[in-house]
Amino acid sequence: MLGFVNAFKPAGPTSTQFGARLRRFYHDPAGKLAIGHLGTLDPQAAGVLPIALGKATRLLPLIVDRRKGYVCTLVLGRATATGDAFGTTVAERPVPDDAVQRLAGAIPAFIGAVSQVPPMYSAVKSDGKRLYELARAGKTVERTARTITVYALQVLGCEGNVVRLRIACSEGTYVRTLCEDLALACGTVGHMGALLREASGPFVLSESRTLDEIERDPDGALVPPERVIPIPTVVLDGRGATDFRAGRMVPLAQPPADKHVFVRDSTRALVGIGETVGALLAPRKVFL
């Protein structure tokens, strides 16, 4: 098994629970099929959850595009312990009448490189422990700020104290923290309400499939690696494919311009990822 699935995760299950359900559709009764995620989703979040199956998990580092796209709601006037709608209330503050105007004026400062402190309720580790484990134990620790990038931030509408936002950002962005910071810029406190991921790298919402759709057509839901990673393909003859599988360099008559290439044998079976070294092709990932 080697491929990707552009899955639509509903709100509720964790990414791991969702992946375990999906695994059953790919003829692996023992449950040993490797599964990897291109960025997980919190249980309460819905949307695009790209999943690598089998040997495709070894290709995840080659996916260069790690940008994310979200639509969310920002709820003004109430801050929560977790930064989302499921946390206990930790602060309440009146919402200024001109909050939306303040938000519009503050948005330019949130575009580009932004310093962000990971929330306590996150999977970041501190001294070997996940922050959310410490937070559940009532502990708060110092966290190092990270630089993330917000490519676009748009107000889609407003109803009462709830603002709808569309966000395009880099990997590692905490939308909950961004919502809290935006609320402060409006002169109040706030938290993230609903969250929908519209895109994760090359995977987009319009092409995602629900679990029911994947179960009806598992093979049709598989996305080949070439559609995810934009590198060329080199086809080797029998001897060349044998040498490549054995870890030996293979001479190329016409070396491609790209550094990395997919390598297929004469039957068009994917045998690995190669790296061009002059006129030679060096095995970097071999699929036996």
36-74 pLDDT, tens digit each: 888 888 888 999 999 999 888 988 988 888 999 999 999
- The contacts of residue 259 (CB under 8 Å, 6+ apart) are 275, 276
Same structural domain for residues 38 and 90? no
Q: Give per-residue pLDDT as tens, 100-159.
A: 999 999 999 999 999 888 776 666 666 666 666 666 767 666 677 789 999 999 999 999
252 lies in which domain range? 233-286
Residue 168, SS3?
Answer: strand
d(CA 190, CA 175): 12
Give me the catalytic one of 28, 42, 84, 181: 42
Same structural domain for residues 101 and 182? yes
Could you tell me the pLDDT band of residue 80, with boundaries at 50, 70 and 90?
A: very high
Same structural domain for residues 186 and 92? yes
The residue among 184, 200, 216 that closes a domain is: 200
Q: Give per-residue pLDDT as tens, 214-242.
A: 999 999 999 988 888 888 888 988 888 89
Q: How buried is residue 140: exposed, middle or buried, by Cβ count under 10 Å (0-12/13-18/19+)?
A: exposed
Domain count, the chain: 3
Indicate the pTM of the whole model.
0.85
Same structural domain for residues 209 and 181? no
Q: Return the pLDDT at 135.
A: 62
Structure tokens at 281: 């092709």
Is the pLDDT at 256 greater than 60, yes or no? Answer: yes
Q: Return the pLDDT at 31.
A: 59
Q: Return the pLDDT at 40.
A: 85
Q: Average per-residue pLDDT in the chain?
A: 88
Question: Is there a contact between 260 and 275 (Cβ–Cβ < 8 Å)?
Answer: yes
Structure tokens at 161: 């104290």
- Is 181 catalytic? The answer is no
Is the pLDDT at 195 greater than 80, yes or no? Answer: yes
Q: Return the pLDDT at 269.
A: 87
Could you tell me the pLDDT band of residue 207, with boundaries at 50, 70 and 90?
A: very high
Q: Return the pLDDT at 167.
A: 97
- Cα–Cα–Cα angle for 25, 48, 175, rounded to 5 degrees: 140
d(CA 281, CA 250): 5
Same structural domain for residues 74 and 138? yes
131-140, 202-211, 228-237, 269-278 — which one is most confidently predicted on average? 202-211
Determine the angle formed by the axes of helices 99-106 and 175-185, rounding to 10 degrees: 120
The full DSSP string for 8-43 is EEPSSS-HHHHHHHHHGGGS-TTS---EEESS---T
